[in-house]
A and B are shown apart, each in its own frame.
Chain A
Amino acid sequence: MEMEEKFDAIIVGAGASGLGAAYSLAKSGFNVVVLERGQRIGAKNVYGGRIYSHVFEKEIPGFKEDAPVERWVTGERLTFLDDSSAATLELSSDFSSENSFITTLSKFNEWLGKKVEETGGLVISGIKVDDLIIEGSTVKGIVAGEERLFADVVIDAEGVNPILAKKAGLRGDWNPHEVAVGVKEVIKLPESVIEDRFNLNHGEGAANLFLGYASRYGFGGGFLYTAKDTISIGVVVRVDSAIANRISVYDIVEDFRLHPYISKLIKDGSPIEYSAHLVPEAGIHGVPKLYGNGILLTGDAAGFVLNRGFTVRGVDFAFLSGVIAAETIRKAHEEGDFSASTLSHYEQRLKESVVFRELENFRKVPNLLSNLRFFETYPKLLCEILKDAYTVGEDSKKIYPLLKNKMRDRVSMITLIRDIISVVRNL
């Protein structure tokens, strides 16, 4: 790389948002470089296991035929866990409604990287961006070790830890209640065993989210996704909750794996990888300033994740934010101006897009999910009531007295009804 070389755009981070921006810019002939700190694309990326496909199908021609899909999700489960039992709500749908798929993010981003390279974009791995070059209040380029690279615009796609975004003055750091730590284990099992155990046809996949025991009854939950010949299991706990409850975060996923419900599902499978990552959890409230002079913020660094308790969406939002950043840069290029006033187009376009529409639509959800009853009282109640209701003896109780008895000292009927209404209204 020559010192004087100036790029149309430098993109920090080869995650879904950085590669989305690179793909879109390279396709329109822009001279872009993506700098990735991992030894290879995908080496630093971690997520639960599922990607919603709609955005990708729209943006990448031939996506379905080409993408590294391991299984299309046909089975959706939401499970309430107490210490030893589980109550599950299950939807089994038909294979033709391909809406989301299971893969690893490492593999998926590697594939996106290939798409970028096919369109003429440059991705360089093993380079960590240490700093931004800021002149006055304008971002002019980046510093990576001894190298200084310049560009009309820098796309900050650095991920959930906003080291550069803080330096650019776009945002402060996350507060502990705005992010969760996710810890994951990948379990190896034969393809046919996975399909038998989860009631799946060949190529079909199951997604299972958990409330209750997984996060030690604190804010958060568990997940399980069946990939081709692996199963990803994990636990996500909001950092404030981990601190307040002094949760041993290093043990939560092992305890989850050994829960009687999970251990049966992954029986005879052995863990082959352990990983951890932070997840933005603040919804629209966590979205910071998205642009400055010569800089745009995309993906996790911008907080574009939506957790609705039974669905979690982030990779598609990240990719789309990158595509919209690229669109903004094309416009700025035409106008020959990369100041904040031109780059504000990015926020306007995002607001019209599915990213903001969804975050806005569910703006009350982070607050709704700050109600501990959803993580402790209700999962335990549901398991206990169903256990009793299904236990047949000489003097079986009717459901209502059973419910009243279990609810005593834990939650009033009024509160329960109010919570149900708030879920129905806001979720």
Chain B
Amino acid sequence: MSDGGDEKLSVEARLGLVAFTIDSEPHIRVNQDECRKCSLKQCLFVCPAKLYTEEEGEIKFNHEGCLECGTCRIACPKIDWNYPRGGFGAHYQYG
């Protein structure tokens, strides 16, 4: 485990600090038809966990590591957004 210090910690390393119970099914889905029409692609930079990525023109969302803030759904109303099922997702200790 990196101790942080003066080095910039990657978002992956920071997500490693959060306790999660990961569900098999994603709680958030993107609609590729809408994504193809989108020129802003704000999901790629507003997610504090950097879970939206673009691969070969398709937007991918990785629900593992979702901090459940809802920023993406405010930034993009086309996202099919839900909280994880009860008991799943992040378990903050110092929230």
Binary contact track B8-48/A, C-beta < 8 Å → 1, others 0? 11010011011001000000000000000000101001111
Q: Which of B73, B84, B85, B92 contacts A106 (CB 8 A)?
A: B92
CA of A241 to CA of B7 in the docked complex: distance in angstroms? Answer: 27
The 8 Å CB contact of A239, one of B8, B46, B91, is: B46
Residues of B within 8 A of A125 (CB): 87
**Inside 8 A of B4's CB, which chain A residues have their CB?**
187, 257, 269-271
Residue of B nearest to A258 (CB): B8
- Whether B56 sits at the interface, judged by CB under 8 Å, is no
Give CA–CA (A40, B21) in the complex, Å. Answer: 12
Task: Report chain A residues within 8 Å CB of B8.
Answer: 251, 254-255, 258
Provide the bound-state CA to CA distance between A242 and B74, in Å.
Answer: 11
Q: Confirm or deny: B57 has a beta carbon within 8 angstroms of a beta carbon on chain A.
A: no
A161-B6 contact in complex given A248-B45, A274-B18, C-beta closer than 8 Å: no
Minimal Cβ-Cβ distance residue in B for A239: B74
B45 touches A275 (CB 8 A): no
Count the B residues whose beta carbon is within 8 Å of the partner chain — how many?
43
Q: Which residues of A contact B90 (CB under 8 A)?
A: 43-44, 275
Contact call A45/B45, Cβ cutoff below 8 A: no
Q: Which residues of A contact B70 (CB under 8 A)?
A: 160-161, 278
- Which of B67, B69, B74 has the largest count of A CB atoms less than 10 A from its CB? B74
Is the Cβ of B47 less than 8 Å from the Cβ of A249?
A: yes
Q: Are B69 and A181 in contact (CB under 8 A)?
A: yes
Residue in B closest to A144 when the chains form the complex, CB atoms: B86
Contacts of B49 in A (CB 8 A): 250, 276
Name the residue of chain B whose CB is nearest to the CB of A251.
B11
Q: By the criterion CB–CB under 8 Å, are B94 and A186 in contact?
A: yes
Residue in A105, A128, A246 whose Cβ sees the most chain B Cβ within 10 Å: A128
Q: Is there contact, CB below 8 Å, between A249 and B95?
A: no
Question: Is A183 an interface residue, CB under 8 A from the partner?
Answer: yes
The interface residues of chain B lying within 8 Å CB-to-CB of A258 are: 6, 8
Partner of A250, one of B11, B75, B77: B11
By a CB distance below 8 angstroms, the chain B residues around A145 are: 85-86
CA distance A263 to B9 in the complex (A): 13
27 contacts between A and B (CB under 8 A): A37-B84, A39-B21, A39-B87, A39-B88, A42-B95, A43-B91, A44-B68, A45-B92, A46-B92, A47-B95, A106-B92, A126-B87, A128-B86, A163-B83, A181-B46, A181-B69, A181-B71, A242-B75, A243-B42, A243-B46, A243-B75, A250-B50, A254-B9, A258-B6, A270-B5, A271-B9, A274-B15
Binding site for A on B (CB under 8 A): 3-6, 8-9, 11, 14-15, 17-18, 21, 40, 42, 45-50, 67-71, 73-75, 77, 82-95
Q: Across chains A and B, which 5 residue pairs bring their CB atoms closest together, nearest first?
A: A126-B87, A128-B86, A274-B14, A46-B95, A276-B48
* Residues of A participating in the B interface, judged by any CB pair closer than 8 Å: 37-40, 42-47, 104-106, 125-128, 144-145, 160-161, 163, 173-176, 179, 181, 183, 185-187, 230, 232, 239, 242-243, 246-251, 254-255, 257-258, 263, 268-278
